[in-house]
Structure 1
């Protein structure tokens, strides 16, 4: 790691420390995100102006900066599903009339059953129209394909740098882990 990369990372850590200080002053999340966006853009622009486009120091700095950036985005992706669920539950709880809940539930279930029936009907029609059957499918084809995917992944994983490996540890969807 060159001195330029270390100096750039020191500036980046200074920006993160400044944002942490702003958080301690009880700024809103939207204001902190806006501060981060402006400071990150200024940091990136200054790197481009100082080193020039395509410089190795920029690439080295971005590898480590991406740990924070991609980690933040991954954590945001992870909390989307619980937030949607809580919003849906809160909307149901806030319904004023108890009878309207039954109507909404009945309508939702009816639409779900109708769309499922339509998709099943389309599947049956397509299968009959083209004469499709399960003949000729060999067992183990899926497993063979999975082995090939895993063999390709071994090459990708072995070439990961430390920052890329750190980012890969951050889940983006807690339901899949």
Structure 2
């Protein structure tokens, strides 16, 4: 990479850090978590589209910026994976323990399993369509 590419990549990284700090300021102003997630999503989409528009999809600047941004993104996704599964299992066990009638336990278990399968199916369908629409592959 030449010096100009490095400079533009640094500018993009600094911009990303500024955008992350804006979301952090929303937390300080007591904006709800749900709103912060949607604000972050909108900011991320706009930032990504801006980078793609100005530098192009195959630019070395874009690729290097994505490598740096992925550090934050991958960490966030891994943290979610680490936290969500124990929370779901704890919630299910807690709900089962609170039930006293064995008929209710079976009905509740079936409802929970069907809900999890249904939401996983919706997530899979969205993932498949997104991959097909944008031509994504396992190679990247």
Query: In structure 2, the residue corresponding to 1:11 is in which secondary structure?
Result: helix
Following superposition, the deviation at residue 86 of structure 1 comes to 1.8
Where do 5+ consecutive residues of structure 2 fail to align? 110-140
Does residue 1:39 correspond to 2:40, yes or no? no
Does residue 1:81 correspond to 2:85, yes or no? yes
Q: Which has the larger radius of gyration?
A: 1
Q: CA separation in 2, counterparts of 1:41 and 1:81?
A: 27
What is aligned with 2:95?
91
Using the TM superposition, name which of 27-36 and 2-11 deviates more: 27-36
Where do 5+ consecutive residues of structure 1 fail to align? 109-177
Question: 4+ residue runs of structure 1 moved beyond 6 angstroms?
Answer: none
User: Going by fraction, where is helix more abundant, 1 or 2?
Assistant: 2
Q: When the two structures are superposed, what TM-score results if normalisation uses the length of structure 2?
A: 0.66
1:121-166 per-residue CA deviation (whole Å, 9 max, x = no partner) reads xxxxxxxxxxxxxxxxxxxxxxxxxxxxxxxxxxxxxxxxxxxxxx
Higher relative contact order (CA 8 A, sep 6+): 1
Instruction: Tell me: CA distance 1:52–1:94, structure 2 relative to 1, closer, same or farther (3 Å).
Output: same
Following superposition, the deviation at residue 101 of structure 1 comes to 4.4
What is aligned with 1:6?
10
Q: CA separation in 2, counterparts of 1:94 and 1:35?
A: 37
What is aligned with 2:75?
71
Does the CA contact (< 8 Å) of 1:5 and 1:61 recur in 2? yes
Does the CA contact (< 8 Å) of 1:92 and 1:101 recur in 2? no
Q: CA separation in 1, counterparts of 2:88 and 2:77?
A: 17
Query: In structure 1, the residue corresponding to 2:58 is in which secondary structure?
Result: coil
Q: CA separation in 2, counterparts of 1:103 and 1:20?
A: 43
Q: CA separation in 2, counterparts of 1:80 and 1:21?
A: 25
Once superposed, what is the RMSD of the aligned Cα atoms?
Answer: 2.0
Query: In structure 2, the residue corresponding to 1:43 is in which secondary structure?
Result: helix
Q: When the two structures are superposed, what TM-score results if normalisation uses the length of structure 1?
A: 0.53
Q: CA separation in 2, counterparts of 1:9 and 1:72?
A: 17
